[in-house]
Structure 1
Amino acid sequence: MAKKQVIIDTDCGIDDAQAIMMALAAPHIQVMGITCVFGNAAVENVCQNVLRVLSVCEREGIPVFRGSGGPLVGATKPVSDHFGTDGLGDVIKDKDPQWELKIQREHAVNAMIRLVTENQKQVSLVALGPLTNLALAVRLDPCFPQKLKDLYIMGGNMEGKGNVTLCAEFNFALDPESAYIVLEEFLCPTYLASWEYACRNALTWEFFEELINQDAAAAVFMKMITSKCWAYSKDAMRSKRDVYFGPGFVSYDAYAMSACIDGSVVTERIECPVRVELQGSMSRGMMALDRTNELKKSHSVFVLTKCDVAKLGQLLMASLRQPKK
């Protein structure tokens, strides 16, 4: 059976690292390249984080490309400390001084266009960070979206609940214009794993303990990078995510990646047009679902609502049993 070809676009924080490992562990997935974007950390840190994940999993042959260092419009805001200042929990001391030599010379957006153009209707694009690289791709090549097989996005929200602003999810809030462009102009089949979808399909903290205490290099790495990170603390979540959704362990980007790896993970979804709000003092970056056809759009997306948590758990467990002995 031919392998499923995937490009991962990432702002590699801890949950991105988990999602990348999930793709690397899936035997039928071929990761063609990893494109980097600002978000959980500055894009230079993101590149180093991706290289680190590939090194842990002994998959250094996968090409890594540096992409956008800030949003499409306006100044780059200071990056959040959700996963520490470096995106991987601020626990890695031995940084690689040679990392830039290991990054491809080609810009991420050009690489994305080239790889998809060479393999038309074959490539699934999984977007785990702000959508800046994707918006630039469609500006450079207006036919780019129709060359994709499909698109999986971790981002946006369905109920106006926000995690960085009152009403907006992190990835969309960091670059609302790019999110708007992608959801207006990418007419390929598009699957959205929103913030609420991830939070409503949480795993238990007991599962998390079992996950990171497996006997493999990837699990040891994940245990280390989550060890001092408040986003992986039950106590810190009580005044944040738990207020909306109750307690649970959520690895956000894994929800988009798992849908790409195995469509049967998704058990319920809504098919409808969506639009990203660009104005609004409180709602900028919020995604609105148009279930009553007010917008008269020709294009719908699949907004994921329920998943098979047991299957998700199996994919997560497998992701940290690397490298294969």
Structure 2
Amino acid sequence: MKKKLILDVDTGVDDAQAIMMALASPNVEILAITCSNGNTSLDNTCRNTLRVLKVCNRLDIPVYRGCSEPLLGCKHDAEDFHGKDGLGDVPDPDAPGLELLQGEKAVLAMIKMVKENPGQVSLVVTAPLTNLAVAVQLDPSFPKKLKALYIMGGNTESRGNTTVCGEFNFVADPEAAYVVLERYTCPTYIATWEFSCRNILPWSFCDTWLAQDTDKARFMEKIFRHTRKMLQTERYQKELEGGPGFNPCDCFAMAAAIDDTLVTESQEVAVTVELEGKFTRGMMVLDYIHELKKKHKAVLMKKVDSEKFKQLMMNALK
């Protein structure tokens, strides 16, 4: 029986990599892709998602428009990192138009699909958590009907990539991240920023990955050029551990949802999100001393089977 997934994305280059990984996995059924503001504007996110589906010949998968701004506070984006359009500023005159989006709103579609498949659907979120926060507000029983939740976001050691202490997806909507970590009591697996930095892939693998003779690989090579230049700067290489390489951060959460045996080491701990600190707003907080009195604990990924992960990456562009 195939794993039923809903992907919640803010499609920049790393989301595109993760979507393509899921599309290439024979044991996965993607019920829908829901879009959010984040790496780039909501319209760009929707367009980019459709572009990825087109290159993979999977425009049959429904795509839904979600939240265009965070619950509170200012918008953040990563257009300096992913390009102004979110996909490396490589225009495609034949890209699918927004008329291919579903008419129903993302959050309502998400609630409906999970209700129709109770206990069978896993959510994989590689975006700010706004859509999920709105979903639980509209249907408080929504998290209980999920099989599992996989998140790329947050941090474990106050290492930031957007603010001093904050990871992008959580900083882009701290209130949403707080709501999700408080109210989603389904099994929750988190691929944090530090985790992804410790499980980087060498540039030699990247070259092999992109050299595959396929339309998918050629597409990825084009949209990845801008981000690769950013990743190879001294600033970004300093953030990584284990030597020079690239960090396909969203792919870790996706890979864990696809293959239950991928994560080889993890830890369970109660978590929340700081909302008020000058330097720590959006930082994920780990409660090792049980001060929060929370029954629900998240599973924080620590190590992965690198060979299995590389194979999933390779398969994505075959």
Match of 1:258 in 2: 255
Which of 195, 208, 211 in structure 2 is aligned with 1:210? 208
- CA 1:243/1:187 → structure 2, altered by over 3 Å: closer, same or farther? closer
Does the CA contact (< 8 Å) of 2:38 and 2:77 recur in 1? no
The one-letter amino acid paired with 1:105 is G
Match of 1:183 in 2: 181
CA distance in 1, matches of 2:237, 2:165: 13
Which of 205, 219, 236 in structure 2 is aligned with 1:240? 236
Give the gaps of 5 or more residues in structure 1: none
Match of 1:53 in 2: 52
The one-letter amino acid paired with 2:184 is F
Match of 1:302 in 2: 299
The one-letter amino acid paired with 1:108 is A
TM-score scaled by length of structure 1: 0.95
Stretch moving more, 178-187 or 243-252? 243-252
Q: How far 1:80 sits from its partner (Å)? A: 3.8
Task: String of CA shifts for 1:279-312, please: whole Å, max 9, x gaps.
Answer: 1010000001112212111110101111111110
- CA 1:17/1:205 → structure 2, altered by over 3 Å: closer, same or farther? same
CA distance in 2, matches of 1:231, 1:46: 22
Does the CA contact (< 8 Å) of 1:49 and 1:88 recur in 2? yes
- CA 1:184/1:309 → structure 2, altered by over 3 Å: closer, same or farther? same
Q: How far 1:76 sits from its partner (Å)? A: 3.0
CA distance in 1, matches of 2:279, 2:75: 19
CA distance in 2, matches of 1:174, 1:159: 18
Match of 1:4 in 2: 3
CA distance in 1, matches of 2:34, 2:222: 24
Which of 268, 271, 274 in structure 2 is aligned with 1:274? 271
1:273 is paired with a residue of what secondary structure? strand
The one-letter amino acid paired with 1:24 is L
Does the CA contact (< 8 Å) of 1:9 and 1:129 recur in 2? yes
Q: How far 1:232 sits from its partner (Å)? A: 5.3
TM-score scaled by length of structure 2: 0.97
The one-letter amino acid paired with 1:308 is D
The one-letter amino acid paired with 1:177 is E
Match of 1:317 in 2: 314
CA distance in 1, matches of 2:317, 2:28: 16
Percentage of pairs with the same residue: 50
- CA 1:166/1:300 → structure 2, altered by over 3 Å: closer, same or farther? same
Q: How far 1:242 sits from its partner (Å)? A: 2.1
Match of 2:287 in 1: 290
Match of 2:117 in 1: 119
Does the CA contact (< 8 Å) of 2:230 and 2:236 recur in 1? no
Match of 2:14 in 1: 15
Does the CA contact (< 8 Å) of 1:40 and 1:81 recur in 2? no
Match of 1:171 in 2: 169
RMSD (Å), alpha carbons: 1.3
CA distance in 1, matches of 2:97, 2:193: 32
CA distance in 2, matches of 1:177, 1:106: 25
- CA 1:95/1:160 → structure 2, altered by over 3 Å: closer, same or farther? farther
- CA 1:311/1:79 → structure 2, altered by over 3 Å: closer, same or farther? closer
Q: How far 1:135 sits from its partner (Å)? A: 0.1
The correspondence of residues 224-239 of structure 1 with structure 2, limited to 5 A, is: 224-230=222-228, 233-234=231-232, 236=233, 238-239=234-235
How many positions carry a matched residue from both structures?
317
Does the CA contact (< 8 Å) of 1:190 and 1:302 recur in 2? yes
- CA 1:179/1:241 → structure 2, altered by over 3 Å: closer, same or farther? farther
- CA 1:241/1:164 → structure 2, altered by over 3 Å: closer, same or farther? farther
Q: How far 1:239 sits from its partner (Å)? A: 1.6
Match of 1:147 in 2: 145
The one-letter amino acid paired with 2:267 is I
1:160 equivalent to 2:158? Answer yes
